[in-house]
């Protein structure tokens, strides 16, 4: 796999080629993670938008496999950090070690210096260690003993969390949840999908799965640059703002989405449109990504914690309440076929 790049401009890549590569990436990852094409599309859209993803679901549903598969198909250097209560910030960032031969301290980089980091069971480590990860996610750098070290690009975090295992966990601060562009869940497969998993395991005759790279670090940067060229018409942009604002006014919400949520909604919708093969954003793109982008930015009132009211339910109700921009208002028409 290729090394991450630093301060190198990405090669030119248009939207159609980016869409083609995205389709190849999804086809490849879908061979490993069966029956979760839509969830995988959301994860890829978040990566193409330059963000980080929190995969929250029950154990054994392919969270770790998905992260490793994306690293392989995107040609990124992959590291895994198992988050435990005794994990220290230096276990992630690295530390200074005394070199007896050179008679000086040298910095030895930790697992954060990678292309794609799997932060496994992120809510099992204390806030001090989570803060070290927060700086890397937001600033693209780490600070060790007063010295700042920039991370290479691209750098993405795919974190996993099991929602049912509360004992021995530390809730993620709202500030850190807000740094995740998306929160995605896979859910249980159907009976046929589960049988396909078994069939593929029998066919390959080994536990490990290896996927061929579709692109590399430079190619991913070029794909991300292509996403930046996607057009967002004003009415669609205002639609993102109205959705985020509506979560703040919802009667069941203690704290709604910040303006960062509206920005994340627009950025992810652009990447989702590229995966669909378009260089402009439709309101349908915004709707498709909204629950994964906004739900974890919504805090439900404490008196409703024991009910069915969740951040996801709030966002879905907001999608019904807020008027969708019309096709004429959006200023776009679908291209003629043939």
Q: What is the average pLDDT across 301-325?
A: 86
Q: What is the pLDDT of residue 63?
A: 87
In which band, very low, low, confident or very high, does the pLDDT at 337 lie, cut at 50, 70 and 90?
very low
Please check the confidence at residue 16 and state whether its pLDDT lies above 90: yes
Per-residue pLDDT tens digits for 273-312 = 999 999 999 999 999 999 999 999 998 888 777 777 888 8
Of the options 3.40.50.300, 3.20.20.70, 3.40.640.10, 1.20.120.530, the CATH number for the domain spanning 15-223: 3.40.50.300
Residues 6+ apart with CB under 8 A from 195: none
Q: Where are the domains of the chain?
A: 15-223, 231-329
Output the CA angle 318-319-323, nearest 5 degrees. Answer: 100
41 Cβ neighbours under 8 A, 6+ residues apart:
26, 272, 275
Alpha carbon distance 267, 283 (integer Å): 13
Residue 68: predicted pLDDT? 92
Query: Which of 1-10, 83-92, 105-114, 239-248 shows the lowest per-residue confidence on average (mean pLDDT)?
Result: 1-10
Q: What local confidence, expressed as pLDDT, does residue 10 receive?
A: 53
* Cα atoms in the 13 Å half-sphere on the side-chain side of 97: 11
Residue 8 has pLDDT above 90, yes or no: no
Class in CATH terms, 231-329: mainly alpha
Residues with Cβ within 8 Å of residue 202, at least 6 apart in sequence: none
Q: How many CB atoms lie within 10 A of CB 210?
A: 10
Is 276 in contact with 290 (CB distance < 8 Å)?
no
Phi, psi dihedral angles at 152 (to 5 degrees)? -70, 160
Element (H, E) at 270: helix 259-275
Quick one: pLDDT at residue 333? 45
Residue 13 pLDDT > 70, yes or no?
yes
pLDDT tens-digit readout, 19-38: 999 999 999 999 999 889 99
Q: Which of 166-180, 238-252, 260-274 has the lowest mean pLDDT?
A: 166-180
pLDDT tens digits, 100-111: 888 888 889 999
């Amino acid at each position: 796999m290729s090394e991450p790049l630093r301060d190198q401009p990405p090669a030119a890549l248009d939207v159609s080629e980016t869409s083609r590569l995205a389709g190849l990436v999804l086809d490849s990852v879908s061979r490993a993670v069966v029956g979760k094409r839509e969830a995988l599309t959301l994860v890829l859209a978040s990566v193409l938008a330059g963000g980080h993803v929190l995969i929250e679901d029950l154990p054994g549903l392919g969270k770790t496999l998905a992260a490793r598969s994306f690293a392989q198909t995107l040609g990124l250097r992959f590291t895994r950090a198992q988050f435990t209560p005794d994990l220290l910030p230096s276990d992630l960032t690295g530390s200074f070690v005394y070199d007896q031969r050179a008679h000086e301290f040298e910095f030895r980089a930790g697992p954060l210096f990678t292309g794609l980091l799997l932060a496994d069971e992120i809510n099992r480590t204390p806030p001090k260690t989570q803060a070290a990860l927060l700086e890397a996610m937001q600033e693209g750098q780490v600070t060790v003993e007063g010295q700042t070290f920039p991370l290479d690009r691209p750098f993405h975090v795919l974190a996993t969390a099991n929602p049912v295992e509360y004992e021995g966990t530390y809730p993620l601060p709202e500030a850190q949840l807000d740094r995740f562009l998306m929160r995605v869940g896979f859910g249980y497969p159907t009976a046929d999908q589960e049988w396909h998993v078994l069939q593929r395991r029998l066919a390959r005759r080994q536990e490990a799965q290896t996927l061929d790279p579709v692109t590399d670090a430079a190619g991913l940067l070029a794909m991300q640059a292509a996403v930046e060229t996607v057009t967002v018409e004003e009415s669609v942009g205002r639609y993102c703002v109205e959705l985020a604002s509506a979560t703040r006014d919802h009667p069941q919400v203690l704290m709604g989405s910040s303006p960062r949520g509206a920005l994340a909604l627009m950025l992810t919708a652009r990447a989702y449109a590229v995966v669909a093969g378009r260089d402009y954003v439709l309101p349908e793109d915004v709707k498709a990504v909204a629950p994964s982008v906004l739900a974890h930015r919504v805090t439900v009132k404490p008196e409703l914690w024991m009910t069915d009211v969740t951040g996801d339910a709030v966002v879905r109700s907001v999608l019904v309440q807020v008027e969708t921009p019309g096709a004429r208002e959006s200023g776009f028409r679908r291209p003629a076929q043939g």
